[in-house]
Amino acid sequence: MHSGSGDPQHRQAVVFADANADQVRAWNGEEGRYWVRHLERHEAMFRQLTVTLLDAARIAPDSRVLDIGCGCGRTTVLAAQRADRSQALGLDLSAVMLEQARRQPECQGQGRIRFEQADMQLRSLPESGFDIALSRFGVMFFADPQTAFTKIARALRPGGRLAFLCWRAPADNEFLTVPATAIARHAHLPRPATPSTPGPFRLADPEGTRELLTSTGFTQVRIEPVDTPIQMGTDAADVAGYLLDAPLMHAALTSAAQDTRARMLTALTCALDHYQAPEGILLGAAAWLVTAQRDGPDTFRQ
């Protein structure tokens, strides 16, 4: 597998950790294609969370930014746009999503915004090569988070800043529980991944996250709750169609009998209808905003 980039430095084969094989398959398969299909919706859903993350990153005029799990690359571009002399590298497992990232008009002829397909658990980055490492919901999928965060710390200069968003527990996230409860009455849904396995809730335990960061070279760890409504779509029918296109939901839908599928759609639409607001369907999201500093003296670049 290769990165799909014409850049000579990306022509080497990409090596992935065997323990992350399921994640590699998912993000280079239907999961990745799903995020590309719904890119604009997701960016609208997470707009306020993205602003919160970028504010917390404290990007300086000439910051060198590492965006981990950059997906379709919007956060990478927005980080670079925070200052006219900053540089940003976006890393992700997904060739599918990175292809979309490179199509952004802001990246055309912009040598200061780059993307690379890589596994952070294995990728060797220049030591002290970055001032800021950030991630919008991209650091929860490591099979070996100890190794990954150690590499992230080494890639930051002493005093460099880490800022990321990760999900709190599933039960705290209305945008997940409302549709899942409606669908579960009519179909079997897989149990959410546990904090011990790669997945959205890998870092849901704040004390576990604090211990992970302090053991991998970070200090001044701060973990703050962020609660915000997110606009899922225009109305219940629109949001139901989007949710049922998600790989897990779609699998449950297609494996059900026709009458069961009809009941699933009706139950989901009715449940979502209760959250209609003038601006669309609003459901609550609950995340952690995590910030930290690489151990060592603060050598902020002026």
pLDDT band at 99 (very low <50, low <70, confident <90, very high): very high
Please provide residue 48's backbone torsions phi and psi, each rounded to the nearest 5 degrees. Answer: -70, -40
| Chain segment 143-192, per-residue pLDDT in tens | 999 999 999 999 999 999 999 999 999 999 999 999 999 988 887 776 66
Residue 28 lies in a domain: yes
Strands 156-167 and 280-294: antiparallel
Determine the Cα–Cα distance for residues 80 and 64; give it in Å rounded to an integer. 9
Q: Which residues of 167-189 are buried (b: 16+ CB within 10 A; e: fewer)?
A: bbebebbbbbebbbebbeebbee
The pLDDT assigned to 301 comes to 47
Residue 207 lies in a domain: yes
> Would the pLDDT of 110 be above 80?
no
Residue 273 lies in a domain: no
> Would the pLDDT of 11 be above 60?
no
Long-range contacts of 248-253 (CB under 8 A, 24+ apart): 248/189, 248/190, 249/179, 249/183, 249/189, 252/183, 252/187, 252/188, 252/189, 253/187
> Would the pLDDT of 211 be above 90?
yes
Question: Mean pLDDT, the chain, as a whole number?
Answer: 89
The pLDDT assigned to 167 comes to 97
Strands 276-277 and 280-294: antiparallel
> Would the pLDDT of 247 be above 90?
no
Residue 252 lies in a domain: no
Residue 238 lies in a domain: no
Residue 80 lies in a domain: yes
208-236: average pLDDT: 98
Domain that holds residue 200: 8-169+194-228+286-294
CATH number at residue 137: 3.40.50.150
Whether the Cβ atoms of residue 115 and residue 5 lie closer than 8 Å to each other: yes
The pLDDT assigned to 1 comes to 27
> Would the pLDDT of 200 be above 90?
yes
Residue 128 lies in a domain: yes
State whether the Cα torsion 151-152-157-160 is positive or negative.
Answer: negative
Determine the Cα–Cα distance for residues 141 and 26; give it in Å rounded to an integer. 11
The pLDDT assigned to 192 comes to 64
Whether the Cβ atoms of residue 141 and residue 70 lie closer than 8 Å to each other: no
Question: Per the structure, how many domains does the chain have?
Answer: 1
| Chain segment 70-89, per-residue pLDDT in tens | 999 999 999 999 988 889 99
85-114: average pLDDT: 91
Which two tokens mark 91? Answer: 């890393």
Residue 77 lies in a domain: yes
List the Cα angle 28/30/33 in 5-degree steps. Answer: 75
Identify the weakest region by mean pLDDT among 94-108, 223-237, 243-257. Answer: 243-257
243-272: average pLDDT: 83
Say which residue, 62 or 3, is predicted with more confidence: 62
The pLDDT assigned to 299 comes to 54
Determine the Cα–Cα distance for residues 44 and 118; give it in Å rounded to an integer. 27
Whether the Cβ atoms of residue 132 and residue 300 lie closer than 8 Å to each other: no
The pLDDT assigned to 298 comes to 67
Whether the Cβ atoms of residue 260 and residue 187 lie closer than 8 Å to each other: yes
Q: Which amino acid makes up residue 46? A: F
